[in-house]
Chains A and B, each alone.
Chain A
Amino acid sequence: MLTFIGRRLLTGVALLAAITTFGFTLLYLGGGDIARKILGENADQQTVALKAQELGLDRPVLVQYGDWISHAVRGDLGTSWFSGQPVLDAISSRLSVTLSLVTGAIILIAVISVVLGVLAATKRGWVDRFAQLLAIVGHAIPGFLFAVGLVLVFALTLGWFDPTGYVPFLTSPTGWAKTVTLPVIALALGGIASVTQQVRGSVIDALRNDYVRTLRSRGIPARRVVLKHVLRNAAGPALAVLAVYFVGLLGGAVIVEQVFAIPGLGQVAVQATTQGDIPLVMGLLVATGILVIIFNLLVDLAQGWLNPKVRLS
């Protein structure tokens, strides 16, 4: 089991290295005259050259990369070229906001998908048709469009929730709930659609397994067979879909934050990329990369727990 985790972590680190190398090369090679961008069109040639020297941009790309890496592994991601704020601070102050959205969405997806998917697979009938409809709608409507609709109906027309802004949980739990509910729903819709579909499909597949008949022939009630045996065997594929969806969730958060004017990583990302603030962009790549790797590791551990073949081989 330990070697299993170790190997997974190692793959994660390698993946992170690949992502940063790739990102660094692209950003620095394609970035053009960065110093001029920072100083503006009116700066004279000498100031620009000085700025470039100050940022170390006059060195070969490989040296710059080595420099960046050696700092990064020590937890120093540099400072923003525009605000002068350390990248780590800029990101970590916003991370908790985005994470609370994403975590909320994951929980919502998991709970609704399992309940709805199992009901759709076992009861069929109208529950199934509802799940199918939800799948089509959730798959077709992009999260931000749905978010706009939610704002129009629930915030502006009915006034149940706040249309924009973010209140930290510790400041006011009700305020937090009022600001977070709609974004979380908007973010989760697509995931609910695809994960429900997957749960339904894998439960139907698992129900067709021969051992279901054999277990029932031993006098185990059908309901218990579904909840204990079928669900456990169906969970693996559903988790895999959830893992893939997590990546999409991070991207979706960027846009949804924009709709609700929530000060999360999304805002930092939009700002940094419009300005061309490369240290900040690299920091964002690293942060999202680490999040994805951690989540995938959790999913792998869950898969190992669910499936003895994975665990024991």
Chain B
Amino acid sequence: MSTPVHAPNPQLAVIPPEAAAKASLLRRVLRNPLALGSLLFLAVIIVSAVAAPLLAPHNPNTADISAVLSSPDSGHLLGTDGAGRDVLSRLLFGAQFSLAGALLALVTSIVIGVTGGLLAGYYGKWIDTASTWVISMLMALPAIIVLLAARAVVGPSLWASMLIFGVMLSPAFFRLVYASVSAVRNELYVDAARVSGLSDTRIIGIHILTVVRAPIVVQSAIVGGVALAVQSGLEFLGLGDINVPTWGQMLSDGFTNLYTAPLLIIWPALAIGLTLISLTLLANSLRDELERSNAPRRRRRKQPAEQPAVVGEEVMRHDDGGLAGEAVLRIENLSVGYETGDGGTKRVVHDVSLTVARGEVHGLVGESGSGKTQTAWSALRLLPEGGRITGGSIFFHGDDLAALNEKDMEKIRGSRIAYIPQEPMSNLDPSFTIGSQLVEPMRICLRMSKKEATTRALALLARVGIPNPERTFAAYPHQVSGGMAQRVLIAGAISCNPDLLIADEPTTALDVTVQAEVLDLLRDLQSEFRMAVILVTHNFGVVADLCDRVSVMRLGRIVETGPTRSIFAYPRHPYTRELLGAILGETSPRGPLATFDAGPSASPSRKGALR
């Protein structure tokens, strides 16, 4: 065999680069008006905090006994407070001290949390155990109580309390960094970097810090807000240093004079509230952007690929004697689309038609993104969020499922159309026993009593070849192997005597020897219950083993359809031929190495250039 002769090779066409791929996070966030507004507000606050000595008309601490609680006038633009101090000046200096205090707490927590998280996450072992202990202790302490206790020791100091609070806040960063580092540490690309000879510091610098950088920025906005809130709370309690003007103190003063001068409380409340809201909005939009840009990192297997609108070419149909029995399912010109973010629809299945007769296994075969799974889910009317049938009909015993309401569809699912998924483990609810997951549908679909359903479930488990049905019935999904779990799912699918079985890659996740057993089981059950079966697979061996008919799908369309033997013997569509040509089974083995010791003698000179 050689590489298929099709030119140009479709796999070598580079996918166009995503526009957003390299634009900086900040630039993207600025496109969001809420985030931009928050950022502008914060900038104003910071500038006025820094320039407070220049802007403030009065000394914030100079009390004018003659002008206590005076209303706004030209001398005092926002009036004076309960001690006759200028409110505007205090607001400006308050910004300076409140923000500086919050910043101190933030920096302290970042330094402790990030270093601790990096060390514990990357090196693990005793550093991990020790720091996890310290962190859980810190998290079990109510911050306010600790700050109050600290005040008993060091007296009322804004800086001391913010330093201590910074330590109390460090778990926020520790946990974030720790989680990302332990996740990244096991990524294959870090293994690859180790094998490439990179040192630990280089790996942390290149591969690990880049991953946690952006989340740290988001967390900083949140933690900064928490620090400001708690600081204001403490000062509000009257526990602050009276010589350091802060917003919290102004709030406290306003609260004392709530009845006489209700305006006094408005200014600091607005300053604190708006700053905190801005920080939260900023953090939220940063996080949203981050999630968006990280989303396509890992390909989700079932994510439908965009299908170019190829002009519909004729489906190559192999002639045969027609259907062997009555048609159970008849799909006509089915189209499936997904909503895109901008209100459009992305089509993933185009104009698909197929018929499955009673007692017949119809294979849907194709590569990833060919639309075979989407077609199968459409027949169950269980497309993922955003997906819908955009055209065509799905006739099941004469009823058009595409037009049925959800309530009627619920009556058909399980009792008349059943489904076997691909991944055995993720398709069982981990929180319930296997037995209860088998009994529940039977009680709904077959209206059985709990006892009847249990008896039947045990019989089914025995039927699908589970050695100890009682034990498996009582077990939780994580206690059984993948092969056993797949048998359980098969038992569940046939539990309500369906007419049509939709099996989506039912053996792909299994080992070869287990796959062979499960294929045997499916064949036996299919002939025993005379079900119609749609079998979605990418494996031609499975098709050859089980299917009576097969439809080859490519880019959301069926390109060729007919009896299995005929397709294997006389493939007509070039794509079918390419797929069959890529199968390794027919090729001859490579044989032993011809020249036994060509390598070692050649190697020193070959490698010399790089050393």
Query: Which residues of A approach B to under 8 Å, CB–CB?
Result: 15, 18-19, 22-23, 26-27, 30-31, 136-137, 139-145, 148-149, 152, 156, 207-211, 213-222, 229, 232-233, 244, 247-248, 250-252, 254-255, 258-259, 269-270, 272-278, 281, 284-285, 288-289, 292-293, 296, 306-309, 312
Per-position contact with A for B219-250: 1 when CB-CB < 8 Å, else 0? 00000010001101100110100000000000
Residue contact A247 to B429, C-beta cutoff 8 Å: no
B154 within 8 A of A: yes
Per-position contact with A for B263-291: 1 when CB-CB < 8 Å, else 0? 00100010011001101110010000000
| The one of B150, B273, B412 that contacts A26, using a Cβ cutoff of 8 Å | B150
| The one of B152, B262, B415 that contacts A31, using a Cβ cutoff of 8 Å | B152
CB distance from B131 to the nearest CB of A (A): 14
| A142 and B229 contact, Cβ closer than 8 Å, known pairs A136-B277, A254-B145 | yes
Residue contact A219 to B280, C-beta cutoff 8 Å: no
B361 within 8 A of A: no
| A247 and B152 contact, Cβ closer than 8 Å, known pairs A145-B272, A255-B237, A288-B145 | no
| A15 and B148 contact, Cβ closer than 8 Å, known pairs A142-B276, A211-B427, A255-B233 | no
| A23 and B149 contact, Cβ closer than 8 Å, known pairs A142-B276, A217-B380, A217-B419 | yes
- How many residue pairs between the two chains, A and B, have CB atoms under 8 Å in the bound complex? 212
Chain B residues within 8 Å of chain A by Cβ, number:
76
B-side contacts of A149, CB under 8 Å: 269
B371 within 8 A of A: no
Residue contact B476 to A248, C-beta cutoff 8 Å: no
Nearest chain-B residue to A278 (Cβ)?
B152
CB distance from A212 to the nearest CB of B (A): 8
Query: Which residues of B approach A to under 8 Å, CB–CB?
Result: 136-137, 139-145, 148-154, 225, 229-230, 232-233, 236-237, 239, 251, 255, 258, 262, 265, 269, 272-273, 276-277, 279-281, 284, 377, 380, 382, 384-385, 406, 410-415, 417-419, 421, 423, 426-433, 437, 440-441, 444-445, 476, 478-479, 489, 492-493, 495-496
CB distance from B268 to the nearest CB of A (A): 9
Nearest chain-A residue to B265 (Cβ)?
A148
B-side contacts of A233, CB under 8 Å: 429-431
B-side contacts of A272, CB under 8 Å: 148, 152
B-side contacts of A23, CB under 8 Å: 149
Residue contact A251 to B140, C-beta cutoff 8 Å: no
Residue contact B414 to A15, C-beta cutoff 8 Å: no
User: What is the bound-complex CA distance between A284 and B144, given in angstroms?
Assistant: 12
User: What is the bound-complex CA distance between A114 and B31, given in angstroms?
Assistant: 33
Residue contact A220 to B237, C-beta cutoff 8 Å: no
CB distance from A19 to the nearest CB of B (A): 7
A-side contacts of B411, CB under 8 Å: 219
Residue contact B152 to A213, C-beta cutoff 8 Å: no
With most chain A CB atoms within 10 A of its CB, the pick from B142, B225, B251, B418 is B142
User: What is the bound-complex CA distance between A118 and B239, given in angstroms?
Assistant: 41
A-B contact list, 15 entries, CB within 8 Å: A23-B149, A140-B280, A152-B258, A208-B384, A210-B426, A211-B427, A218-B414, A218-B441, A232-B431, A244-B139, A248-B142, A248-B143, A251-B143, A254-B145, A254-B237
